[in-house]
Amino acid sequence: MARITLEDLGGLADEPLEEDEEEPADGAEQTRLFSHWETVASSHQVTLPPEMADPIVQMTQHRQVREPVPYVTLLQQEKCGEVAYEDRQYPAGKWACITKGEPMYEQSISMGFMKLMRYICKENSIGRYLGMTVPVVNEIHLNEEGTELLRDVTTAYYLPGEFQPDPPLPMDPEIRIVERQPLRVITRVFYGVTTEESILREIRLLWELLGSTDTVLHEAYMVAAYENPSVPQRRNEIWFIRRAE
């Protein structure tokens, strides 16, 4: 399978509709939407699979504001008058997760998120659109030298608040519902596309800001994606995971 980025599939909708409003797309509109995203995909040397047509329409029809994953900011560290990084606490919560181990990072997150997208868009036990949350988080691991990403990448979608007590079950056996424990992270914003090269660069930059410390993991990190691919300098974050105290 050719490459398509998470951001290309995760940012299909920007204008809010009423929650229950769902205007059926006619054949011409569905073709137009799919053609648009084929063009986006082709810019990343990708063939968009036909089974993504309906999820694309569903995401477009439900263009409500995305629900943020809840967190508390514990500390902001400034440098030259700007926030260099934040220390955050995320509460325990239920996430839909899928792990892929493709040859390239972009392939793993793409294939994983396309499956999550179908889960969000009615391929679940209640047969309805669940709503989008941000960020979508990708957990990555580095080799011992810290020079390369390992193949396995876990892509995670936070269940909206109304589904936290009783998450709908996925139809896809590769997707699992995980109750994650509270998570404390050091996070730094960066902008643009996410590739293995850009991720490794951002990890190095945050290490330079933090200096030597054993309070965070050295082998596991998270990449958080927030925005629509039409935004040239879209927002992402690199997360360093605090060790349990």
What's the first-to-final CA gap in the chain, in angstroms?
42
Residue 36: inside a domain: no
Q: How many domains does the chain have?
A: 1
Residue 59: inside a domain: no
Per residue in 83-138, pLDDT (tens digit) is 999 999 999 999 999 999 988 888 888 888 889 989 999 899 999 999 999 999 99
Collapsing DSSP states into helix, strand and coil, what is residue 120?
Answer: helix
Residue 71: exposure state from Cβ atoms within 10 A (0-12, 13-18, ≥19): middle
Per residue in 162-212, pLDDT (tens digit) is 999 999 999 999 999 999 999 999 999 999 888 899 999 999 999 999 998
Residue 232: inside a domain: yes
Higher per-residue confidence, 189 vs 79: 189
Whether pLDDT at 230 is above 70: no
Share of the chain above pLDDT 70, in %: 80
32-46, 58-72, 96-110: the lowest-pLDDT one: 32-46
Residue with tokens 């936290």: 164
Q: Give the mean model confidence (pLDDT) for residues 209-232.
A: 85
Say if residues 126 and 162 touch (Cβ distance below 8 Å). no
Which residue type occupies 20? D
Residue 141: inside a domain: yes
Residue 53: inside a domain: no
**Which phi and psi angles does 59 have, rounded to 5°?**
-65, -35
Residue 169: inside a domain: yes
CA distances from 222 to 58, 167, 169, 205 (A): 28, 23, 25, 15
pLDDT-derived band at 6, boundaries 50, 70, 90: very low
pLDDT score, position 106 = 83
Higher per-residue confidence, 110 vs 216: 216
Strands 67-68 and 133-134: parallel
Residue 166 sits in which domain range? 66-242
d(CA 185, CA 240): 5
Whether pLDDT at 5 is above 90: no
Residue 125's domain is classified under what CATH number?
3.20.80.10
pLDDT-derived band at 220, boundaries 50, 70, 90: very high
Residue 198: inside a domain: yes
